Chain A
Amino acid sequence: MHVPDGFLDAPTSAATGAVAVVTIGVALVKARTELDDKTAPMAGLVAAFVFAVQMLNFPVGVGTSGHLMGGALAAVLVGPWTAILCLSVVFMVQCLLFADGGITALGTNITLMGLTTVAVGWLVFKGLQMVLPKRISLVPAQAGIGALVSVPVAALLFVGLYAVGGATGIDLGNLATAMVGVHVLIGIGEGVITFLAIGAILAVRPDLVYGARPILERRELEIRTPTSGAAA
């Protein structure tokens, strides 16, 4: 969903650019609380992994493809603020080295595919974690659902931006239907990739998955008081 230069007018692009700059600034401060000795070495690799998987376009219907955006994946692995930094680096490198996404559209692409998928993916993930039983085995599916939802939301946000500053006047209802339709399919791919990647790390080292830590810590607290039951 890399937006090229010219789809959105200059004021809209400047606005998304400002949103991206401010959010990255906040993330630089907030990420510090997420990045400890375990997550810090993971963060760079998560960004590199997202970059690699974004190269892998999969077919969604005839003559159309899609690829991972990676916000939910990165947020669950290293925390949402760190994920924003990781994805911003990915989009900058894609823009400057590969001309993938326009230069004036860099803020738009960071906002849509970075900030939006991180925020939606993480909030859906945490929401599911709150209402469902606290089990490690549920984490990959919860992350996958967050990932699935995040992609059509990003597509809908693009339509919103197009309504404000789109290059040509077109029927916005039709645009929204088409964008959400194809991005639900891409979202399914996003969900499957996220499920598999989180599941793989979780299987070997659950403590390296940021989103699984609250459950692991609960479990450790329970384990460390084996005599409490006998005393009571």
Chain B
Amino acid sequence: MKRPSTRPSTKVVLVAVLLVALALAGIVSRFADSSPDGLTKVSEDHGFAGSGRTHQGLFDGYGSLTGVIGVLVVLALAGGVTYVVRRRSRDDRS
């Protein structure tokens, strides 16, 4: 019932997902709508936008380069956390 020849390997799928994420953050994000998002718009319409305060982040907002860096930072952190807490097939099912 296994069809290894027709199914891409896990590695291929993982690399494809990473490339898609990098392309979305680095290229497609240039075409994102820059209008205020739902909450920001509602806060403007209902008169509480002024109570919001911004802080200084490491980067000056999202750009192609910082977006790609963000993707890689998230990958490293989330990948690291889940790698540490994962179930190891050997020591767990001895």
Query: Are these two chains actual partners, yes or no?
Result: yes
The 8 A CB mask of A171-197 against B (1 = contact, 0 = none) is 100110011001101100000000000
Given contacts A89-B78, A93-B73, A182-B41, contact A32 B21 (CB under 8 A): no
A66 within 8 A of B: yes
A7 to B75: give the CA distance in the assembly, Å. Answer: 30
A63 near B35 with CB under 8 A, answer: yes
Question: How many A residues are at the interface, by size bracket?
Answer: 35 or more
| 8 Å CB interface, A87-104 against B | 89-90, 92-100, 102-103
B28 near A56 with CB under 8 A, answer: yes
A49 near B17 with CB under 8 A, answer: yes
A183 to B70: give the CA distance in the assembly, Å. Answer: 26
A45 near B86 with CB under 8 A, answer: no
Determine the main DSSP class of B at the interface with A: helix
Contact of A31 among B17, B24, B37, B82 (CB under 8 A): B82
A182 near B38 with CB under 8 A, answer: yes
Residues of B within 8 A of A48 (CB): 17-18, 21, 71-72, 74-75, 78
A120 within 8 A of B: no
Residues of B within 8 A of A95 (CB): 57
A105 to chain B, nearest CB (A): 9
A16 to chain B, nearest CB (A): 15
Given contacts A35-B85, A36-B86, A64-B41, contact A59 B33 (CB under 8 A): yes
Q: Which of A45, A66, A86 has the most CB of B within 10 A?
A: A45
B53 near A102 with CB under 8 A, answer: yes
The 8 A CB mask of B43-72 against A (1 = contact, 0 = none) is 101111001111111110110001101111
A97 near B36 with CB under 8 A, answer: no
B35 near A59 with CB under 8 A, answer: yes
A33 within 8 A of B: yes
Q: Which residue of B lies closest to A50 (CB)?
A: B74
B81 to chain A, nearest CB (A): 6
B38 near A60 with CB under 8 A, answer: yes
A51 near B83 with CB under 8 A, answer: no
A100 to B74: give the CA distance in the assembly, Å. Answer: 14
Residues of A within 8 A of B28 (CB): 56
A58 near B33 with CB under 8 A, answer: yes
Q: Which residue of A lies closest to B71 (CB)?
A: A48
Instruction: List residues of chain B with CB under 8 Å of any chain A CB.
Output: 1, 7-8, 10, 13-14, 17-18, 20-22, 24-25, 28-29, 32-39, 41-43, 45-48, 51-59, 61-62, 66-67, 69-83, 85-87, 89
Instruction: List residues of chain A with CB under 8 Å of any chain B CB.
Output: 1-7, 28-29, 31-33, 35-49, 51-53, 55-60, 63-67, 82, 85-86, 89-90, 92-100, 102-103, 155, 158, 166-168, 170-171, 174-175, 178-179, 182-183, 185-186, 201, 204-205, 208, 220, 223
